[in-house]
């Protein structure tokens, strides 16, 4: 009957809306994780560079101390 068809259309619309909302939430979460991972990677690279700089300074200090002997 017409009522059944209308109910089916409304149900399908709700399902599509829910599916779209879930897809949008999934994309949002994925984007957030991607940005978070990129920030973590950037932080790791900064730390590596900092450690490398400290090593170089320590090596320079060691050489200066050896020269003073």
Residue 59: alpha-carbon gap to chain centroid: 36
pLDDT of residue 59: 97
> What CA–CA distance (Å, rounded) separates 53 from 45?
12
Confidence of residue 58 (pLDDT cuts 50, 70, 90): very high
State the greatest distance between any 2 C-alpha atoms of the chain, in Å, as a whole number. Answer: 101
| Domain locations along the chain | 1-69
> What CA–CA distance (Å, rounded) separates 26 from 32?
10
pLDDT higher than threshold 90 for residue 56: yes
């Amino acid at each position: 009957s017409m009522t059944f068809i209308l109910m089916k259309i409304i149900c399908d619309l709700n399902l599509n809306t829910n599916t779209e909302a879930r897809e949008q939430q999934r994309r949002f979460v994925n984007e957030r994780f991607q940005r978070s991972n990129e920030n973590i990677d950037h932080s790791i690279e900064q730390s590596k560079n900092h450690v490398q700089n400290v090593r170089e300074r320590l090596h320079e200090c060691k050489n200066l101390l050896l020269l003073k002997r």
